[in-house]
Structure 1
C-alpha cells in the first residue's frame, strides 16, 4: 500500500472494474431486494440532494448484496418535458434559430440528438459517487417499452371512465404557454399593494368596497361575496352591483368562504382567475369569464380599450381609470405570496383552459387504504400524516401539457369534435369507424406531464404491460420493491401516484417502505440556492476546486452583473482557499452520518474534512497491520491468546449488532457513528496499541495469535464499512485478502459480517476496559501536567478492590509498556507521597509529584476534574428526578443511571481526599 491515501488514484480504477465485471447486476439467487431510483431529469446534473439520496440507496444495496440478497437497483432518467424543451430551445437560439423554425417532428428529432450527445451527464456523475446500480437495465421514460406503458395506462383509464377532458382552472405559465404542476410553482413573499375599490349598487342606493391585489382581474368579476351571517350586508344579498369600467352588472352573493371580520367583509369573485373563486363559482353556478390570452394579455372578453394589453400594462390602465372615475378608494402597501414558475421565474396565472384530467376519488381512497392497512410504511412514520392530508383533500389530476417533447396524448378528434382514445392511429380509425365515422381524424397536440409516466416507474421498468418483457426483466420477482428513498417534497406528486397506479394496474404495491429524506441545507441551515451563492457541487467536494475555478464556475453564464458580483463576493468569503478534495468515500460517510430522521440536514465542510481524516486513519492503521503481519499468509489460530484480542473481538461483535439494528430501521447516522467509534477509538487508537506488547514480546504464540486477530478484525471491519465507503475498503481489502487466504475478486461480493459469527468474551472486555481506564488516567495526568510522553515515570496504586489488584498484576507489563511507566507499585495510607491522581472506580492511580509536578498545579487540575465529575452527577440526578424518565425507561437503564451516580460520587470523594493530602 502507498504511504498516503489518494482517493483520485483508486476511485476511477475500481469503479470501471466493478462495472465491467458485471458486479452490479442482480444475481438471480437468494431473496430479491429491489430499489427504484427516483429518476432524475435527463437535463440535470448531480446536486447535493441527489448525492445524499444516492448514498443512502447505495448503502442499502451494497449491504443487502453482501448479505446474499438478489439485489436490483433500477436506474434511469426522466424525460423532463419542460426542462428539456427549454434546454434545446436555448441551444437553437445560440445557433441563431428559433423554435418556430421547426415543425413538431423536426423539433423532436433535435431533442433526441441532444439527448444522445448530452443526456447522460448525471449518469457519469453518479458513477463518481460509487453508485452500484445495474446500468445495463437503465431506462428512460421515453423508451419504447415505457412509452407503451404510458399509452396503455391512458387508454385503460379512459375506458374505465377515470380519464376525461374538461375546462378547469390550472396553473398557467404565460412564457411557456402550458399548464404546470404545483411542484413547479414557487411562492415567495414579495412587496405589493392592496387597492380598495367602490362597487356601486345598480339601483344607486349605495356601494360596497372590495380590496384586491390584482385590480386588472376585476374585468372578469362575476359577483361580490359576503358572509351569510354578516348583518351589515344581509339585506343586500341578491341585489346587483355595477362593475366599474364595464357595462356589466354582477350579483351580491353569500358564501361561508368570506371572512366577515377581514377588511370590509366583501370579496370580489373572479372564478376564471382565482382557485378559491373558482370553487365559489362552482357552488353558486356563476359564469366563468376568462379575460387573458395564453400569453397573459387581455382578450376580447374585456372592454375594448384594454384588449391586447399585457396584464401589468392593463393593471396601470385600470388603476388610472378607476382613479379618474373616483372608484379607487385607497392604495396601501401589502405583503403577498406571489406564485412564480420555477423554470421561467414568471408570475403564474390561474387560467381557465381545456385539459385532460384523471378522476382521483376512487384511486385516492384505495391509495389511502393501502397505507392505513400497513402495506406501505413511511419512515419516519409521521410522514403518513402528510400523505393522509393530501389524499383526503385531493383534486382531479391535470395530466396534459401544452408542449412538444413528451408522450403525446393518445386521443384523436373527429370533425364534429368527438374524442376517440386509442393506442395507435389504426386503432383510432377502427374505433371511429365502428361508431360510423370514416372521415379524417386530428391527433391531440398536447403531451402528458412527466409525473404521469414516472407514476408507472415501478412496474413499467419491469416490462409492464408486455408479458414477454415482464418475464425477461423479472416482473414477478422484483415487484413489489423493498424501499423507496425520496424527498418529502414529492410525497404528493410521485409517491402517492405510484402507489395508486401500481396497485390499480398490477394489484401490487410499488414498494413496502418509503424512507423520506430531509432537505440538504448549508451549515447555517439555509436552503441552498444559486442566488445565495451557497450551492455545493458534490463533484467539487470529491475532486476539490480552487477559489478562482469555483468563482468562474458559479458566475459563468449569469446575465445579471449584480448577481454575478454578489455570488463572487459570497464565494470568496466562504471559500477563501477553495474546496479541498475529500474523495467520494469521505463525502458518502458524511452523508450517512447526517442521515437522521429530521427534516433538515445541515452540511458542513468541516464534517467532510473530519471524515477524510477518518479514511486516512483507516488507511494508516491498515498499513501498520500489514507491516506487522510479515511475509506470506497469516496462520490461523484455534482461539485468541490475549485478553486484548478477545476484547477487540467482543467490541467488534457488539458493533456489528448495533450496525445491523440501526440499518434495519434506516438510522444510517447511528450505524455510521457505531462504525466510526469502533474504527477510530477501539481499533486504531486502542487495539493497535494493545497489540504492540504481544507483537514485540517473547511469547511466540501470543505474537502469532495477535497477528491473526489483527488481520481478521481489519478484514471484517473493511466488509462492515464497505457499503458506506466502497472505494477505500476495496483497495485495502485487496491487500489484506491474500494474507488470510481469502478467495474472491472483490469485497463487494463477500459476505457482510454478522455479530453471530464472532465469539464474545465479556470478562475480557471488562478487564481491557479497566486497563484502558488506568492508561487514560496516566495519559491525562501526563498531558495536564505537561510531562514528556517519552519520559518513564513511577506509577503507584492505592485503595481499590481485590479485582483491581488481580488485574494490576495480570496487566503490569502492558501498563508499563503502553503507559511509559515503571512497574506499578501498591502503597498503603502512611506510605503515600504527594502525587497527582486519577480515579478508576475505587482505585486511585498516582503519579508522585517529586521532581515531576508542581503541587499547586496538581491542586488546580484536581479542582477542575472534581467540577467535571460533579457535573456528571447533576446530569444523572436530573434524569432520575424526572418522573417520566423513571416511569417509562427500562428498569436496567434506570439502574444504570443510579450506578453511574455512585461511581461518579466515589471518584469525586477520592479526588477531594487527594486534594486534602496536597495541603
Structure 2
C-alpha cells in the first residue's frame, strides 16, 4: 500500500481521475431500462477561451448531472460548441488584417476553410478547459453547430417553416452595420451618447401655397441632415392648427427638387420644435412606420446609401451627382454627405441658424445624441431598407401566450407575467438572415417570376444554375428547398421545362 502524499496536488489527482473516468466510459449513458435524464450544455462560442461565467454555469450543470447518475438515471450531458457566425468571422478577419489580408482577397470557399482551421484550434482549447473543470460530459457525442447533421437540421427547419408560411422574405428596415457589411440584431446594438447637432431647415411650400401666417415654408429639424436626400414626406399633427390648411399640399425639397406631400400623423408632436417632421422611411425606424401609415409600400421607399454607407442614386434619380459616392459622414479628412447637405442648404438660404446665448449664429444647435453603434465593429449603425428573411414571431407567440393564460405554464414569481405578456404581445418579426461567409447558408435560389406574358429585360436572377430561364418573366421568384437539386426541380416545374 502506497503512502499518502503529505500535500494534496489537485492538478495531478484531478487530471489522473478524469482520464480514468473518461477511459472507462463513465460519462456515456449506458443504463438500458433506466429513466433517461438529459441536459444540453449551452454551447460556448468558438471565439476564444471560457470565462468565469462558463465555469459557474458548467459547475452547476455538472452537479445536476452527477446527482442524476447517483439516482440511477441514464444521464446524458450533451457537449458542443457554437460556430458564432458574426463573432467568429470577425475574429478571423482581424487575424488576417495582421497579415495585411482581407476576406475579399479569397474565395468564399478558401475563407471558410481558414475559419475551420481556426475553429479546430479554438474549439480544442475550450474542450481542454471543460475537461480541466472536471465536467462529466459525454465526449463520445460532442457536437458543433456547423456539423453536417446540424446543418441538415437547420435547413430542414428553414424549409418547413417557409412551407408553413411562418418564414418569409420581406423588405424592411434593419440595423445595418456598414463595418461588418451585415444586418445585426437589436441585442448587438449599443446606444451611446455622443456630441452632435440639431439642424433646422426651411422647406419651401409648392404651388404658391402659404401657411395661415403668410409664410411660404415649413421649418423642419433633424439630427441627420444627410438623409434629406431620401425624404418622401413632411408629417404634421392633424390637430395642429398651424398646418391644417396645408395637409395634402406639397413641398419641393430644396436639394433634390423632389416634390413631397405634407401628411397628417400623430408621430409629429405639436409641442416639439416646429411641430413638423421630415419623413425618410428608408433610413429611420419611426419614419418607416409613418411611411407605411401614409400608404408608401416598402418597395417604393427610397434608399440613398449602399452597404458601406456611401451615397447612391435613389430610384427616382433625383440625388445630385456631386453627392454620389460620398460617405454619409466626414471620412479620412474628406467632407461627407452630411457636411455637403448643410453647405448646400445654407447656400440656398434654407438653413435656419442656431443663435447661442451670446447672440452668435451657428449652423446647428449643440445636442447630445443617443447614437446606435455596432457592439463589435464600433461603427454607427444605419437603419437600412433591404430584403431579409423573417420568422413570423407573432404567430409563434400565440401558443406560449395561451399556455400562460390557461395555467399550463406558470411564471414564478407571478408578478413577471405582465412583462411576459408585454414581450409576447408586442413581438416583432425576427430577422434570421445575415450577410456573412461563415455560417449556415439560407437554402434559397432565385429566378425571374412569370407574370402573364409580359417581357422584362431587367431580370433579377442570381445563383439558379438551371434550367435556362424564360423571357416572359418579371420580378423575382424564390425557390426554397433542402438541396440545389430539389430547387432546380421546383424551377423546372415552375417554368415548364
TM-score per shorter chain, which class? 0.7 to 0.9
- Cα deviation for residue 262 of structure 1 reads 2.2
- Give 1:399's aligned residue: 432
Q: Is residue 320 from structure 1 mapped to residue 330 from structure 2 by the alignment?
A: no
Number of residue-to-residue matches in the alignment: 438
CA-to-partner distance for each residue in 1:457-495, whole Å, 9 max, x for gaps?
xxxxxxxxxxxxxxxxxxxxxxxxxxxxxxxxxxxxxxx
**Aligned-partner Cα distance in 1 for 2:171–2:303:** 11
| Larger helix share, 1 or 2 | 1
Q: Which runs of 5+ in 2 are unaligned?
A: 330-335, 355-363, 448-468
The secondary structure found in structure 2 opposite 1:171 is strand
What is residue 241 of structure 1 aligned with on the other side? Answer: 251
Taking the aligned partners of 1:387 and 1:168, their CA distance within structure 2 comes to 26
Distance 1:386 1:126 in 2: 36
Structure 1 residue 49 displacement after superposition: 2.8
Secondary structure of the residue that 1:353 maps to in structure 2? strand
Match of 2:463 in 1: none
Q: Give distance in 1, aligned partners of 2:12 and 2:220.
A: 70
Question: How far apart are the structure 2 equivalents of 1:52 and 1:383?
Answer: 26
1:169 positional shift: 0.9
Partner residue of 1:435?
494
TM-score of the superposition, structure 2-length normalised? Answer: 0.82
Contact preservation (8 Å) 1:42, 1:120: no
User: Structure 1 residues 402 and 189 mapped into 2: Cα distance closer, same or farther (>3 Å)?
Assistant: same
Aligned-pair distance for 1:296? 0.2
C-alpha deviations, 1:563-609, integer Å up to 9, x for none?
xxxxxxxxxxxxxxxxxxxxxxxxxxxxxxxxxxxxxxxxxxxxxxx
Gapped runs of 5+ residues in structure 1?
439-919
Aligned partners of 2:233, 2:279: CA distance in 1, in Å? 5
Distance in 2 between residues matched to 1:391 and 1:31, nearest whole Å:
35
CA 1:373/1:136 → structure 2, altered by over 3 Å: closer, same or farther? farther
Match of 1:307 in 2: 324
Structure 1 residues 135-168: Cα deviation after superposition (integer angstroms, max 9, x where no partner):
2222111111111111111111121222222211
Provide the secondary structure at the position in 2 that maps to 1:191: strand
Q: Which of 165, 170, 173 matches 2:177?
A: 173
Distance 1:408 1:81 in 2: 11
Offset from partner CA, 1:541-561 (integer Å, 9 cap, x none)? xxxxxxxxxxxxxxxxxxxxx
**Which among 253, 257, 261 is matched to residue 271 of structure 2?**
261
Aligned to 2:452: none
- Cα distance in structure 2, aligned partners of 1:272 and 1:247: 18
Task: Assess, with a 3 A threshold, how the Cα gap between structure 1 residues 371 and 41 changes in structure 2: closer, same or farther.
Answer: farther
2:136 counterpart of 1:145: no
| 3-state DSSP of counterpart to 1:268 | strand
* Structure 2 residue matching 1:120: 3-state secondary structure: helix
Alignment of 1:344-493 (within 5 A): 344-376=377-409, 378=411, 383-414=416-447, 415=469, 416=473, 417-438=476-497
Q: How many Å separate the matches in 1 of 2:417 and 2:70? A: 31
Match for residue 20 of structure 1? 23
How has the CA–CA distance of structure 1 residues 20 and 210 changed in structure 2, closer, same or farther, with 3 Å as cutoff?
Answer: farther
> Deviation string for 1:215-250 (max 9, x for gaps)?
111111111112222222222211212213221121
Q: Which moved more, 1:67-76 or 1:297-306?
A: 67-76
Greater fraction of residues in strand: 2
Q: CA deviation at 1:73?
A: 2.0
97, 101, 107: which one pairs with 1:97? 101
User: 97-106 vs 153-162, which deviates more?
Assistant: 97-106
Structure 1: distance between partners of 2:255 and 2:183: 30
**Distance of aligned partners of 1:368 and 1:123 in 2 relative to their CA distance in 1, 3 Å threshold:** farther
Q: What is the aligned counterpart of 1:298 among 299, 302, 311?
A: 311
- Check the 8 A contact 1:185/1:339 in 2, yes or no: yes
1:136 is paired with a residue whose SS is helix
Aligned to 2:461: none
Higher relative contact order (CA 8 A, sep 6+): 2
Query: In 2, distance between residues paired with 1:232 and 1:339?
Result: 34
The CA distance in 2 between the partners of 1:307 and 1:141, in whole Å, is: 42
Quick one: distance in 2 between partners of 1:7 and 1:332? 64
1:401, distance to aligned residue in structure 2 (A): 1.3
Q: How far apart are residue 113 of structure 1 and its match?
A: 2.2
Superposition pairs of residues 476-625 of structure 1, within 5 angstroms: none
Q: Distance in 2 between matches of 1:189 and 1:48?
A: 30
Partner of 1:119: helix, strand, or coil? helix
2:224 to 214, 218, 243: 214
**What's the offset of the Cα at 1:93?**
3.2
Residue 315 of structure 1 and its aligned partner are, at CA, apart by 0.9
Counterpart CA distance in 1 for 2:292 and 2:338 is: 27
CA distance in 1, matches of 2:140, 2:308: 44
- Return the alpha-carbon distance in structure 1 between the equivalents of residues 73 and 419 of structure 2: 32
Contact 2:49 2:122 (C-alpha < 8 Å) held by counterparts: no
Aligned counterpart in structure 2 of residue 225 of structure 1, from 235, 247, 264: 235
Distance verdict in 2 for CA 1:126–1:263, change over 3 Å:
farther
RMSD: 2.2
* Residues 695-734 of structure 1: per-residue CA shift (max 9 Å, x gap): xxxxxxxxxxxxxxxxxxxxxxxxxxxxxxxxxxxxxxxx
Relative to the length of structure 1, the TM-score reads 0.46
Q: What is the aligned counterpart of 1:183 among 183, 187, 207? A: 187
Tell me, yes or no, if the aligned pair for 2:394 and 2:425 is still in contact at 8 Å.
no
Closer/same/farther in 2, CA of residues 6 and 228 from structure 1, 3 Å limit: farther
**Cα displacement (A) at 1:307:** 1.0
In 1, are the aligned partners of 2:233 and 2:279 still within 8 Å (CA)? Answer: yes
Which residue of structure 2 lines up, in the alignment, with residue 781 of structure 1?
Answer: none
Q: What is the CA-CA distance between 1:94 and the residue it aligns to? A: 3.2
Deviation at 1:200, TM superposition (A): 2.0
TM-fit CA distance, 1:359:
2.1
Q: Secondary structure at the match of 1:318?
A: helix
For 1:291, what is the secondary structure of its paired residue? coil
The alpha carbon displacement at 1:343 in A equals: 1.6
Q: Separation in 2 of the partners of 1:192 and 1:126?
A: 47
**What secondary structure does 1:408 align onto?**
coil
Partners of 2:418 and 2:146 in 1: CA distance: 34
Structure 1 counterpart of 2:68, from 55, 64, 67: 64
CA deviation map 1:285-326 (0-9, x unaligned): 134111101100111122222110000011111122222323
Determine the C-alpha separation between the residues in 2 that align with 1:388 and 1:126: 38
SS at 1:256 equivalent = coil
Cα 1:372–1:138, aligned 2, differ >3 Å: closer, same or farther? farther
Distance 2:11 2:269 in 1: 63
Q: Distance in 2 between matches of 1:42 and 1:381?
A: 37
Which residue of the partner structure matches residue 459 of structure 2?
Answer: none
Q: Report the Cα distance in structure 2 between the residues aligned to 1:369 and 1:25, rounded to whole angstroms.
A: 38
User: Does residue 275 in structure 1 map to residue 334 in structure 2?
Assistant: no
Question: Is this contact kept in 2: 1:241–1:251, CA < 8 A?
Answer: yes
- Partner residue, 2:458: none
